């Protein structure tokens, strides 16, 4: 498997993000059913862009907010933990906070 360079990843993220932004603008005149199907693709593009850029997905954010601690750190040792970074609040006290 060929590993992409950081520049190639940056380009892919930019293209996916721009495509998603354009698609959200295009959805404005669509009927509800058509727009909801279109939105699934847009959200997939955004999720891939976040993955490539190293941002945690919504699913991963939930795992961190349930298990990590703003004081004691990330249970998984992730340097981009949204709880440790302060972008999301923890839902429960950690094992060390008890």
CA distances in angstroms from 18 to 12, 13, 22, listed in the order given: 10, 8, 6
69 bridge partner residues? 73
**pLDDT tens figures, 42-93:** 777 777 777 777 766 555 677 888 889 999 998 888 888 888 888 888 998 9
List the Cα angle 85/68/89 in 5-degree steps. Answer: 55
Q: Is the dihedral of CA 61, 63, 68, 73 positive or negative?
A: negative
Confidence of residue 10 (pLDDT cuts 50, 70, 90): confident
d(CA 76, CA 23): 35
More confident residue, 19 or 64: 64
Res 60: pLDDT = 65
């Amino acid at each position: 498997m060929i590993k992409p360079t950081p520049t190639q990843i940056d380009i892919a993220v930019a293209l996916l993000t721009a495509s998603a932004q354009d698609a959200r603008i295009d959805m404005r005149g669509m009927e509800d059913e058509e727009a909801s199907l279109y939105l699934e693709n847009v959200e997939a593009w955004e999720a891939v862009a976040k993955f490539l850029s190293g941002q945690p997905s919504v699913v991963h954010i939930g795992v961190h907010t349930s298990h990590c601690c703003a004081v004691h750190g990330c249970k998984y040792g992730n340097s981009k933990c949204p709880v440790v970074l302060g972008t999301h609040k923890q839902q429960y006290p950690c094992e060390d906070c008890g």
